[in-house]
Structure 1
Amino acid sequence: MGRVGIILAALAATFGASVAQAQAGDLNPQSIDAAFAQDGAAIAERLGVTADAAAHQLRLQADSVAATDALADRYAERLAGIAVLHQPDFAIRILLTGNEPIADTTLVVDGEAVPVRFATGAAATRLALVQAISAHQAEIRASLLTPPGLGVDPRTGELVAVVARRDVEREGATALRDRLATLAGVPVRLRVIDQPELDMSGIAGGTRVTGSVPGDPHRYLCTAGFVVTDGQRTALSTAAHCPDTLSTRDADGQETVLPFVGQWGWGNQDVQVNASPLPLPPTFYTDAARTISRPVTAARARAGMRAGDVVCHRGERTGYSCSEVELTDFAPAGDLCGGACLPTWTTVAGPICKSGDSGSPVFLGTVAYGILKGGSYRADGSCAFWFYMSTDYLPTGWQLLTAPVQPVVPVVAAEHISDLAVNSP
């Protein structure tokens, strides 16, 4: 085998695909059905349902997004949050401000009736909660011993302050909560975490990548995320806090260098782009052993994220797992974004996260959601939650490389939404 063949083989082993393998037919990325089946099996126990039921719910989750986006627009002036419910059956819950009731209704998604349950009485809209974080973050940070994480919980309509135990012990939980609520002008709930949020330094996102920092003899591990393109080149995305120049190594020790293109790590971004010497396909690994690859067929916008949405990730240190979204608008603690972070990140309820998962792909089925940035840990070292950057914030000029698929239009009964517009206040 010539050097070009060796490089192709190395890339295939590392990235889960190569053009040569695809043409040869020995690479078969998962189908959409198989992807949902795998994700359903991974989340079933956590949701308390069978693997088949979980896979079915994930289909409903994906195909109900357009309908809940429309409902969010309909009730924008009162919207405090939208959440996905998995028990006793799949349903949507919409929390509104004010006390004027809205009658429950149903959406028909993929031929199935999905209950939509309205709750009222929230004290602040989601927009007001996000604006409170932006307006008062600096003042809140300055008033505490440890700068907190701040996020929006769409299930309760509260600003969640992820605070250090020493701040609670110094001030008292009730006094601290009430003071922050008065300062921000919105309801506040405290969540005590024993260790602060940390970037998950290391390299691998779908695949293992390593690099070093000038003057430091250590090699650092990260996870490569999704394949991106500027229209001329293909490249790998990962986290900006990973080393600049990265490389991969195959089982025979053949190293492939991934030249540094650029990094963006301020406010709402933590993303780096490293070029590939050869074209890459739009696939990513999903299993710990890097034997199962999936095509990327689309991206999920951050604006439509709902509490309770299930997402998955595949990190080099922790492998593959799935869990539910908790906070949809989150500003991580400390100065992880070249200073204070903006409330544009999304948190996920563990159950596992470790250093080395930085940059890893966050997804459901064949849809890309984002790139994992960091996590927060309990005193025993277990993962309290992890958080990711939406693919909305890929750097200007770069976009996801996607695989062509036959379009499938979700079966959502639009007349139900129209009826709401006519019959609801």
Structure 2
Amino acid sequence: MRWIVALLIALAGSPGLAAEPMRLSADEALAQDASLYATRFGVSPAEALRRLQQQRASIAVSEELRVRYRDRLASISVVHRPDWHLLVRLSGAGRPADFVATEQGLPIPVRFEDGAGATREQALALLDRERAALPKDVAGYRGGGVDPRTGGLILMQRPSADPRPVAEVEQALSARLGLPVRIRRLDALMTDSAAIGGGRVEGPNAEGRRFRCTTGFVVRNGAGQYGITTAAHCPDTLSWRGPDGEERLLPMLGAWGAAQNDVQIHGGIGQADPSLFSDTAKTTVRPVTSWATRPMTRPGDWLCLRGESSGYACSEVELTDFAPAGELCGGLCTNSWVTLRGPECRRGDSGAPIFLGTVAYGVLKGGAYLPGGACAFSYYQSVDYLPDDWRVAVQR
């Protein structure tokens, strides 16, 4: 018997799926992601593919810019409209000349803005220092992150919690904190993404109720042991059915759910296959060939997920330095989480893989849900925060 999805992305396949899914090449996987990009931004499939190739190639340019302007750097963002380019925001006065770099034979336009109120380093230090006080100072606090527009902070606030105009709240907080503050009023409840209900990947919680989650990436440790990731707030005992209907128990090898982590690793996956489902119906599979770190990730990056509830969807990165509100991380969360725009995040997506083409980026933790259940945004743990010596397994 062959276990293809050795853990693919969502241990929950359709009951009738017995045939092996079609396997995509790296080029085909990126073209699939480009098709959703073309729809989102109203460009041709060929232009969408070129832009995603630029996005991947531009990581090297971003790293060089990060070092060159480290003393003034507020943010480096990927901008899609009216044309594709990197935007570098700097604190203080003095704007370098725009230029076009070349990387992997592709043009990488770079543009600058000056006048940011703080550097990213200053904003991160402030957010870390104030994370316990902000829920007390900001009525209806819903989390906060480093604002790529200003270099200061962006804070989420429930609209009904504070009758004052947004500008007044921003001014008062900016004066107290000493950095620019932007308020985003959001009538949303932030929760982890696990959901009650049956599914192909499921297990009981402490009360005996059934939960389902999504598996992320095949991983390997220094001893050569393989496992599959999901979210740490999922049940400890999980089982799934293979494409031929055989059920398999996945014993837990370890769980890490504090500060910057929400991941657990399960064994018993059979033949290790560093792949993941590539579409909602789970008829195609793409390989995992490499992984990207959080410092490599920029606001505006186009990334995709495949969740057990949401299926296959793509959207833009909003914040790369986000601290969820409340004690969702075994206590207060660090500012190491990355957010993605909605509308795709649903309960049951916990642990879902975040990727572009064949590159692994992270595993989904949760989302902020508007009244009625719509997704305002989701947030994930970058794969460079995998615990101990576990690393994403890749196909060579």
TM-score, normalised with respect to structure 2: 0.92
Is 1:399–2:371 an aligned residue pair? no
Q: What CA distance in whole angstroms lies between the structure 2 residues aligned with 1:182 and 1:382?
A: 34
1:230-309 mapped onto 2 (5 Å cutoff): 230=221, 231-250=223-242, 253-309=245-301
Amino acid at match of 2:183: L
SS in 2 for 1:100: coil
User: Which stretch of the first structure deviates more once superposed, 292-301 or 82-91?
Assistant: 82-91
Is 1:33–2:27 an aligned residue pair? yes
- Residues 21 and 282 in structure 2, CA contact (< 8 A), matched pair in contact too: no
Q: What CA distance in whole angstroms lies between the structure 2 residues aligned with 1:280 and 1:127?
A: 40
Distance 1:250 1:402, change over 3 A: closer
Amino acid at match of 1:184: L
SS in 2 for 1:84: strand
Deviation at 1:44, TM superposition (A): 1.5
Q: What CA distance in whole angstroms lies between the structure 1 residues aligned with 2:111 and 2:196?
A: 42
Deviation at 1:137, TM superposition (A): 1.5
Higher relative contact order (CA 8 A, sep 6+): 2
1:125 matched residue in structure 2: 119
Deviation at 1:101, TM superposition (A): 2.1
Is 1:56–2:47 an aligned residue pair? no
Q: What CA distance in whole angstroms lies between the structure 2 residues aligned with 1:226 and 1:13?
A: 10
Deviation at 1:229, TM superposition (A): 1.2
Distance 1:390 1:251, change over 3 A: closer
User: Which stretch of the first structure deviates more once superposed, 41-50 or 118-127?
Assistant: 41-50
Identical-residue share of aligned pairs (%): 42
- Residues 6 and 218 in structure 2, CA contact (< 8 A), matched pair in contact too: no
SS in 2 for 1:60: helix
- Residues 5 and 273 in structure 2, CA contact (< 8 A), matched pair in contact too: no
Structure 1: 5+ residue stretches without partners:
18-25, 405-425
Greater helix percent: which structure? 1
1:167 matched residue in structure 2: 161
2:217 paired residue among 205, 223, 226: 226
Is 1:194–2:187 an aligned residue pair? yes
Alignment size in residue pairs: 385
1:390 matched residue in structure 2: 382
Amino acid at match of 2:182: R
Is 1:358–2:369 an aligned residue pair? no
Q: What CA distance in whole angstroms lies between the structure 1 residues aligned with 2:166 and 2:52?
A: 37
SS in 1 for 2:134: helix
2:360 paired residue among 359, 368, 382: 368
- Residues 22 and 283 in structure 2, CA contact (< 8 A), matched pair in contact too: no
1:77 matched residue in structure 2: 71
1:80-91 mapped onto 2 (5 Å cutoff): 80-91=74-85
Amino acid at match of 1:273: I
Moved beyond 3 Å, runs of 4+: 13-17, 144-147, 250-253
Distance 1:91 1:203, change over 3 A: farther
1:74-153 mapped onto 2 (5 Å cutoff): 74-153=68-147
Query: Which structure would you say has the larger Rg?
Result: 1
Amino acid at match of 1:76: R
1:178 matched residue in structure 2: 171
1:379 matched residue in structure 2: 371
Structure 2: 5+ residue stretches without partners:
10-19
TM-score, normalised with respect to structure 1: 0.86
Q: Deviations over 1:24-63 (max 9, x none)?
A: xx66531111011100001212122122211110111001
- Residues 81 and 95 in structure 1, CA contact (< 8 A), matched pair in contact too: yes
2:12 matched residue in structure 1: none
2:332 matched residue in structure 1: 340
Q: What CA distance in whole angstroms lies between the structure 1 residues aligned with 2:342 and 2:76?
A: 21
Considering only aligned residues, what root-mean-square deviation do their CA atoms show, in Å?
Answer: 2.1
